[in-house]
A and B are shown apart, each in its own frame.
Chain A
């Protein structure tokens, strides 16, 4: 089974993780919501798969391009 690493497209903070480990997701689904500069930016996956692991938790700071979750595809 292949793995796909989801990266943050911006610097900010994890506001809310809206899925959980084991959830099946499809291309375009929101898995968590980041916030920065008064904006909420949803993180969407670009492939179908199952969430294997989150590499960050709610409230954590993230930087651009940081790996934030692992999908099993």
Chain B
């Protein structure tokens, strides 16, 4: 097994990975920016190294500073977590060149799946179902022509990245031209390329994604699906496994075919195949994330598989047959709520001091966080301050547990989206399992009343 692994991330991701490494008897090296120097998880790592200023470009995106830590500590592995450099193929190649294993798929996969239209073309070739979309758009005329082929409404998406950033809908030509400019500027700023493309905008689809697990010996399996339909600003808020109110064979069929596609392609680590499920048209491939996913915990809770440890073992070269049991089944139901530091109605960020921060605990309740009471939520990073993950015997039991857990979660000093989550958990459509990506707007409408 690895001797020593650098954890090139922060917050809940760093805390989770450090805990997994500790559990495997692997030495963990934490890194931190000036803004995170008193983060509670640093003490749990075998060692911790400062890598620069608070702004991500100076620290968590600072490849040179992180590579210096790799060399200084003689680490033989680096776990990138999610976000930051997790899907940066240049960084992965530099880590490997420093004789340190990048814990994730080979750099070629980060590159192949990182460019969204190329990834769609490739997956389509292998038979993955998907809706109509355009190639990268050269100019407004090309966009107008593509929109008329696809049919309104359309969604403008950045080709260089995902995570729900920079996606804008357009319902007619005039709106399309106006939104394109904005979308290009956001794409340029977030992903370093102004390339955008169009996809057909599905009305009220469900976001269903598949947890894939692969090794370096040509084996690919899946750990079933997650439903992540409750989103605000195209970012997930509530995730669950299994997906409610959907025939098992429909889900398992797609999971099996995704595994067979990735086997043919030669994919070699964990990853997530994201789709939009449209009641009439079935599954539509969205993108593939070549990394650990924020919501991996719900899959862990219903399958009993430690996904981080699986990823580390696979990266070390162990075959899946030695890592996973022969049969993996789903037992019970798990739901995760992402607690964000933000206004619960407007979703505006709300950084500030955590005067009180007391996460809930108890049977079937798990809280992944990188914060502790007395800490500060700074404006430099994303607003997620904790993931509250519950496991119940069935979905209703899980919903009840999550309501109680969030009731118990004491946070003072900043605004959080807990009132929004609680309202969602009482929303009739949510409770019945009739979830869709527009549900958050319906919930906000009831909160405003």
Contact = CB atoms under 8 A, between A and B. Distances in A.
B379 A13 contact: yes
Contacts of B379: 11-13, 36-37
A15 B382 CA distance: 16
Given A11-B379, A13-B379, A36 B186 contact: no
Contacts of B230: none
Interface string A25-47: 00000000000111111000000
B448 interface: no
Contacts of B346: 9
A10 interface: yes
Chain B interface main SS type: loop
Contacts of B342: 37
B266 interface: no
B413 to A, nearest CB: 12
Contacts of A12: 349, 351, 379
Nearest to B415: A64
Contacts of A36: 348-349, 351, 379
B383 interface: yes
Interface string B322-359: 00000000000000000001110010111110000000
Contacts of B381: 37-38
B264 interface: no
Contacts of B348: 9-10, 36, 41
A27 B27 CA distance: 57
Contacts of B171: none
Contact of A40 (B186, B343, B383): B186
Given A36-B379, A37-B383, A38-B382, A11 B186 contact: no
Nearest to B166: A40
B185 to A, nearest CB: 9
Contacts of A41: 348-349
22 contacts: A9-B343, A9-B348, A10-B343, A10-B348, A11-B349, A11-B350, A11-B351, A11-B379, A12-B379, A13-B379, A36-B351, A37-B342, A37-B349, A37-B351, A37-B380, A37-B381, A37-B382, A39-B233, A39-B349, A40-B186, A41-B349, A64-B350
